[in-house]
Structure 1
Amino acid sequence: MPMTVRNSRLVKVTIAAALLVAMAQPGSAEGLKYKPIVVKTPDGLTISAQEWGNPAGAEILFIHGFSQSHLSWMRQVGSDLAREFRIITYDLRGHGNSDKPLDAARYRDSKAWGDEVQAVIDAAGLKRPVVVGWSYAGRVISDYLATHGAGQLAGINFVDAPIKADPALIGDNLKNLPLMASEDLLTNIAATRTFLHGCFSRQPSADDYETMLAFNMMVLPKVRAGLSGRPLDASEIMSKLKLPVLVTHGAEDRNARLGAGQYTASVIPGAKLSVYEGIGHSPFYEDAPRFNTELAAFVRAAAKTN
């Protein structure tokens, strides 16, 4: 029997309503409200940044990892954190909607990385943010501290984010990195898929994995090659920090072994180590309720300290 016009419209309205509900579910950044922020770096790049949450709340600046994007934090910007805190996310150079120069030198300059973080802080008007850095962001935070110091920060949360490149603490999942820089698309995609799965012990949902794979593939092979191989040993700088530090690390991390987090906590005076048993490289996704609760407590305490 043919569908009537009225019934057809009812079906369309019902489908539209269902889609809106689905987009608002935890774990998805789609449909969430944010204010776009355009950032210009001193070396001439345009960086895509976003403001979420409570504009009057204590400040959190999230920095994502290698080949990821600001959407990595979908389970933070769509959570109760956004009701209490002012949240800033952004796409690193070469990632997401930020500029993607192909010259490897644009990814090898420590000062440029540090200046990029400062440019985001300035453009967003942040006063004393807690910086949350995942994975490769350990390098970025190290660059920032070396270039600008810690005077403008309220605290730092290292999330599976090493401060020293130690071959003994590198996990087996990083063997995919050279193939992720391949110009052969099938090779690149296969390596990216394997790498992405290796970033989790508790695997993401099918929908979230598809989104993650999509923004991983936005990072071009030449960009990935430029990001790789940078030296890292920020031990001396970190040993002099005098601000609250939380080190979050998954016990089953296959990118940076647990020893990397233990080392960070041992070097930084007063740092607290929070180990997530049964969790891989992405505790903020794999156990978002615990991560968000611990981060909220850390930000509140850091705000009182400063």
Structure 2
Amino acid sequence: MNSSSQRSFVTTSHGRIAVEEQGHDGLPVLLIHGNSSCRGVFRKQLQSALAHGRRLIAFDLPGHGGSDNAPDPIRSYTRPSIADAAVELLAQLQVSEAVVVGWSLGGHIAIDMIARFPGLRGLMIIGTPPVGRDNMAAGFTGLPHARAASREQLSDAEIDDFVAAIFGASAEPFLRDAVVRTDGRFRSRLFEAIRTEADYTDQRVTVKESRVPLAVVNGDTDRIVKLDYLDTLSYGNLWEGRCHRLPGLGHASFWEDPTQFNPLLDRFLRDIESGR
């Protein structure tokens, strides 16, 4: 990571959260990583010109990276609770308005923040199909490597397959280490709660009814998300009127090729900053 990054720990009701910030002034941008990953996956954004005149904030989810395992996994390792943790984090950082960029599970968390964070200026989701409990299969491929996302214990081979499916040839050792470090209870509880808990909103309805500017970005070779499904949804305020597909990139497009992704994010942020 860039030596000029500011690193800190923020105490929330869901445990101590590891935070990394780049830039100090201007629009705050919260970066939320996916299941069994870490904030380091946003290195190529934190160390880029995107931080000029902005405040980029990346953090490790509870049970991930440098953050603590949650003191109460049953409470904290659910999608709504992680959204609550993100809102707590922003309050502790004295951020009242921000754009949120969420990747994979991070995108689902970001969508749940729409109802929880009144200062949400804009939202970009990457590799995140908005689904309801009744249509999960419509948005995801369901390939064997994807099932690892819900399992508490993973073999070495399953970890390797999981990392390869997400990052392909762009994988670095720390991304595998992030899977190994993740509290396995996070994965199992996350999916148990999706099946059984009552407070899960239908994200199809959320993106249809929300007036928050929403950018939908995917790699066009994503092996986890059904991209055509995203084009069938109704959106209340879809940025540039279409879902964006980045050619030749997979599930982690922002990591695989920042030369394609970063200009797109910059354009979105500039539109938010200018009030378009």
Aligned position for 1:268: 236
Following superposition, the deviation at residue 102 of structure 1 comes to 7.2
Percent of matched pairs sharing the same residue:
24
Which segments of 5 or more consecutive residues in structure 2 lack a partner in the other structure? 195-199
Task: Tell me the alpha carbon deviations over residues 53-109 of structure 1, each in whole angstroms, 9 at most, x when there is no partner.
Answer: 2x1232211000000010010111111112342100101111111121375413454
The amino acid across from 1:221 in the alignment is G
Q: Distance in 2 between matches of 1:261 and 1:137?
A: 17
Q: Distance in 1 between matches of 2:183 and 2:53?
A: 36
Q: Distance in 2 between matches of 1:268 and 1:230?
A: 27
Quick one: structure 1 residues 115 and 249, their matched pair in 2 at CA, closer, same or farther if it must change by over 3 Å?
same
TM-score, normalised to structure 1, is: 0.78
Contact 2:102/2:108, CA 8 A, preserved across alignment: no
Q: Distance in 2 between matches of 1:65 and 1:111?
A: 15
Contact 2:139/2:230, CA 8 A, preserved across alignment: no
Quick one: structure 1 residues 108 and 95, their matched pair in 2 at CA, closer, same or farther if it must change by over 3 Å?
closer
1:278 aligns with 2:248: yes
Choose which of 123, 134, 159 in structure 2 pairs with 1:156.
Answer: 123
Q: Secondary structure at the match of 2:10?
A: strand
Choose which of 89, 98, 118 in structure 2 pairs with 1:129.
Answer: 98
Q: Distance in 1 between matches of 2:10 and 2:71?
A: 19
Following superposition, the deviation at residue 161 of structure 1 comes to 1.4
Task: Tell me the alpha carbon deviations over residues 201-229 of structure 1, each in whole angstroms, 9 at most, x when there is no partner.
Answer: 5x21xxx5211111221102222212224
Contact 1:131/1:157, CA 8 A, preserved across alignment: yes
Aligned position for 2:137: 167
Larger Rg: 1
The amino acid across from 1:190 in the alignment is A
Q: Distance in 1 between matches of 2:272 and 2:140?
A: 31
Alignment of 1:1-306 (within 5 A): 29=1, 31-41=2-12, 43-53=13-23, 55-101=24-70, 104-146=73-115, 148-149=116-117, 151-164=118-131, 166-171=136-141, 172=143, 173-178=145-150, 180-182=151-153, 187-201=154-168, 203-204=169-170, 209-231=172-194, 233-263=202-232, 266-271=234-239, 272-305=242-275
Which segments of 5 or more consecutive residues in structure 1 lack a partner in the other structure? 1-28
The amino acid across from 1:195 in the alignment is F
TM-score, normalised to structure 2, is: 0.86
Quick one: structure 1 residues 240 and 290, their matched pair in 2 at CA, closer, same or farther if it must change by over 3 Å?
same
RMSD of Structure 2 on Structure 1 (CA): 2.2
